[in-house]
Amino acid sequence: MNIVAFGASYSKNSINKTFAAYAASQFAAEKVEVLDLSNYPLPLFTTDVEAEIGHPEGISHFLNKLEQADLIVISLAEHNGTYSTAFKNLFDWTSRVKLKMFEGKKVLLLATAPGARGGISVLEAAQQRFPIHGAEIAGVFSLPNFHDNFSEDTGILQEELKNKFQEVLADVSVGDLV
């Protein structure tokens, strides 16, 4: 089984990319690929730009990565209660090429943030929107106060959060991944 994971942020030091990679590493998979969205630079989507340049090459590459996955792990960065602008732009471009970009695949939705809400608002938005684009939401988890509750060496530090996270992972059943 193959897992594709990414933090829905273009930040060089994305805590969501770190969290997505950590979550993906918790599964027994043949292949885990963590995408860096900064490898998908795109002009701001407008129908005028689309008419002028067509679909940027990076979109086919991104779609190909999603197509290869048996499980997609996305940790969403939250900006003003919703997706980061850069991720929303990638999402908009991708949906113009393939509306059902997730193709019925299982998606583990995560979010983390430095604050106490842990990206809950962006998770709610994604839970509403992603199924329209073919996602089967397999699990949802928010990690609040990232810098206090996570260590790259040991993972989630707070025992109650760690247990809840493990429960979500246990519910994500993709063949023999869990």
The span from the CA of 163 to the CA of 171, in Å, is 13
The pLDDT value given to residue 173 = 66
Which residues, listed in sequence order, are joined to residue 136 by a DSSP beta bridge?
A: 106
Q: What is the pTM of this model?
A: 0.95
Q: 177 lies in a domain? A: no
The residue to which tokens 């393939």 are assigned = 98
For residue range 109-146, list pLDDT tens digits in order: 999 999 999 999 999 999 999 999 999 999 999 999 99
Is residue 61 a contact partner of residue 41, using CB atoms and an 8 Å limit? no
Helix (H, G, I), strand (E, B) or coil at 26: coil
The span from the CA of 124 to the CA of 87, in Å, is 16
Q: 178 lies in a domain? A: no
- If one counts the domains in the chain, the total is 1
CATH of the domain at 60: 3.40.50.360
The span from the CA of 130 to the CA of 87, in Å, is 13
Token couple for 91: 């999402």
Q: 176 lies in a domain? A: no
Q: 24 lies in a domain? A: yes
| Domain limits for position 55 | 2-171
Q: 51 lies in a domain? A: yes
Could you say which residues of the chain have pLDDT below 50? 175-178
The pLDDT value given to residue 176 = 45
